[in-house]
Structure 1
Amino acid sequence: MVEKKTKRRDFLFTATYAVGAVGAGAVIWPMIDQMNPDASVKALASTEVDVSAVDPGKTITVLWRGKPVFIRRRTQEEIAEAKAVKMEDLKHPEKDEDRAKDPEWLVMLGVCTHLGCVPLDQKGDYNGWFCPCHGSHYDTSGRIRKGPAPTNMEIPEYKFVDANTIKIG
């Protein structure tokens, strides 16, 4: 008789613990799940841009995470000009090949690295971007060439989904 009560008691303890663990999980899971980002935050994490209508020599601006992103389809002359720049002439040396995954397309944050202004396209001494607020001049690769900005314009994480679509983020 002793063995039967022991087995029954062990079963009752095990069943109680199992029900308690399931109950604790049911209470804790919603608290943990609510810490995940909501759909609006996830939607801002990346954006896909159709670039099929962008002609060579033109720039489009899209918003990503509340910031402007310049997507420029560069001409062969602009690409050659950007590649010909000597590294010692740059304030923040970066090769054009390191900034543009595909030489024809330049994707970068449209924010001046001096004080966060939005530079103007195809302006300035290097026919790239010019920030009229404080006089920073960027070349056709978005590299700082003249003015108070300390670094080149930032290149966001991006990839080509297909020939006409760029995914930023």
Structure 2
Amino acid sequence: MATDQAHVPAAGELTESGERRRDFIYIATGAFAAVGAATVAWPLINQMNPSADVLALASIDVDLAAVQPGQAIKISWRGLPVFARNLTQAEQDAANKVPVASLRDPQTLAERTKEGHTNWLITLGVCTHLGCVPLGAGEGETKGDFGGYFCPCHGSQYDTAARIRSGPAPKNLEVPQYAFKSPTSVTIG
């Protein structure tokens, strides 16, 4: 006995329209959760961006015209001291005579200065041992045995190219990013 009755789904059995409805609900719920997560995450991520006062210190312009050969000035950049030294020809020659292979952190003077401005050595004034500020940039300060910088905290000594020559410091004084805008004007950062 055959009957022409439409199939009625049993309990728990889904029809094609029921499956589509459930898929839509899953997708809508997932999309809603993703938007909610993004809304919560954005302020947390955005707060890690540097503030306006930090961005303002990202770079500074320095006029070096008043710095005579053999003199250095101290500049504050990003809360750190920066030494800008106008090397004499004798200081450049002394730095170039040092065998690079004998250095703890081998770098030539040319690698630490800009082409055409080899008399200007610009470094962070932070000892690479424990972060003290070395002497040697100010008038009458001890320059150490190598004529560069001397760290009074633990005795690290740097040469005229600010390369580590003795003491516990593991590396040379760091050279920040900088660019000359004119022969005596430099932008640091």
TM-score, normalization: structure 2? 0.70
Residue equivalent to 2:178: 158
Determine what percentage of the aligned residue pairs are the same residue. Answer: 53
CA distance in 2, matches of 1:134, 1:37: 34
CA distance in 2, matches of 1:53, 1:126: 25
Instruction: Sort the Cα spacing of 1:142 and 1:38 in 2 relative to 1 into closer, same or farther, 3 A.
Output: same
Q: CA deviation at 1:37?
A: 4.1
Instruction: Show CA shifts across 1:34-72 (max 9, x none).
Output: 756443122110001011110000000000110000000
Matched, 1:115 2:135: no
SS in 2 for 1:42: helix
Give 5+ residue unaligned stretches, structure 2: 1-38, 137-141
Residue equivalent to 1:98: 111
Whose strand fraction is larger, Structure 1's or Structure 2's?
1
Residue equivalent to 1:60: 73
Identify the match of residue 85 of structure 1 among 98, 117, 130: 98
Q: Which amino acid aligns with 1:141?
A: A
Residue equivalent to 2:32: none
Residue equivalent to 1:139: 159
Identify the match of residue 61 of structure 2 among 36, 48, 56: 48
CA distance in 2, matches of 1:149, 1:163: 32
RMSD: 1.9
Runs of 4+ aligned residues of structure 1 deviating over 6 Å after TM superposition are none
TM-score, normalization: structure 1? 0.78
Q: Which amino acid aligns with 1:167?
A: T
Q: Rg bigger for which structure?
A: 2
Whose helix fraction is larger, Structure 1's or Structure 2's?
1
SS in 2 for 1:78: helix
Give 5+ residue unaligned stretches, structure 1: 1-27
